[in-house]
Amino acid sequence: MFLNANEIREKVSPVDLLAHLGYTPAYKSGKELFYLSMLREEKTASLCVNEQLGIWYDHGGPNRSGIKGGNVIDLGLAYWFPLSFPEVLEKIKDTCSIEISKIPAQKELNQKARPRIAIKVPNYKIEEIKPLGSNPAINGYLQYRGVWETAAEHLKEIYYYVEDNKKNRKHFFAAGWKNENGGWEVRNKYFKGCLGKKGMSFIQGEENRLAVFEGYLDFLSWKHEQTLNKPTVLILNSLSFISAAIVRSSKFEAVDVFFDHDQSGRHATQQLLSAIPHAKDRSDIYASHKDYNEKHMAEKAELMGIRSTSDFFKSLKVGFSR
């Protein structure tokens, strides 16, 4: 039996958990509370909690877990890192002294095994597509994820708006890459989604060798470490494409798989390995991390820690505009 995660999210807010842990906000701005981050040492309050939405975001530097925001469970995963998901649920329950029902383990596992599908944005229109480099927010996001050096060849700046039923428009921008069905997979600091039809991404390389990734940021993190290694690359962009990925992968003599270390990622890995016996699970490269990008970010953070501040800022390639 597992604790009911949905019930925990409904009964406990990030503010509740922090209060029970002994943390109080440094100040309040509108509906947002700002705390000195308990995920690392800092002197300026950078961890923001939106009381109304029940979500948090850490505007400061990287922490051990690599988790930057989310709901109360995400906060628990970051605070009690590296405890497992079920262990963190128990911690939240005990810390906040609440009663939580349990659900059958198989049901929970089946729910976790379902493919994660990114949000498809309705009623949108792309206004402009530009090369990377002109938007400081996009630059900063890619630098934070550690993929700035490898992003320019593959990613663009996507500017779009979303229109509601009353014809009101909200304008957005994000880093994006085109999938093979013509849709744009978009990412920024706060959003992960798809503009248009979902699809995989295929990058031609060596004819007989294939590297398979869940997401583009994992691919860009992996590419940062490659020099002579130039296999063909398949990026699913969603684990809902695992069956199609198996068909595509079966045509290659060598297949390396780089999926996430979570329930869905492990399930997809086993599906692919069972269907293609000569495929290899390469996730041991980031054994102590959730995915390739998290490993890459951790290594970047460690490097930043041993370099001087002046050297680090000289290396930044952020374009600033007024």
Category of 167 on φ-ψ map: left (φ > 0), alpha (ψ -120 to 50) or beta = left
pTM of the model: 0.58
8 Å CB contact between 234 and 256:
no
Output b/e per residue, 78-106; b: 16+ Cβ within 10 A: bbbeeeebeebbbbbbebbeeebeeeeee
User: How sure is the predictor about 122, in pLDDT bands with cuts at 50, 70 and 90?
Assistant: low
Spell out the residues 6+ positions from residue 1 whose beta carbon is closer than 8 angstroms to its own: 102, 103, 104, 105
Average pLDDT of the chain is: 83
The string of pLDDT tens digits covering residues 157-196 is 999 998 777 778 889 999 999 999 899 999 988 788 888 8
User: How sure is the predictor about 233, in pLDDT bands with cuts at 50, 70 and 90?
Assistant: very high
Mean pLDDT calculated for residue range 139-156: 92
The string of pLDDT tens digits covering residues 56-103 is 888 877 778 778 888 898 899 989 988 888 888 889 988 988 877 765
**Considering the chain, what percentage of its residues have pLDDT values greater than 90?**
45
Polymer length of the chain:
322
The string of pLDDT tens digits covering residues 10-64 is 888 999 999 999 999 999 887 789 999 999 888 889 888 987 778 888 887 777 8
Category of 54 on φ-ψ map: left (φ > 0), alpha (ψ -120 to 50) or beta = left
CA–CA dist 218, 259 (Å, integer)? 9
Q: Residue 41 has what pLDDT? A: 84
**Phi, psi (degrees; rounded to nearest 5) at 220:** -65, -35
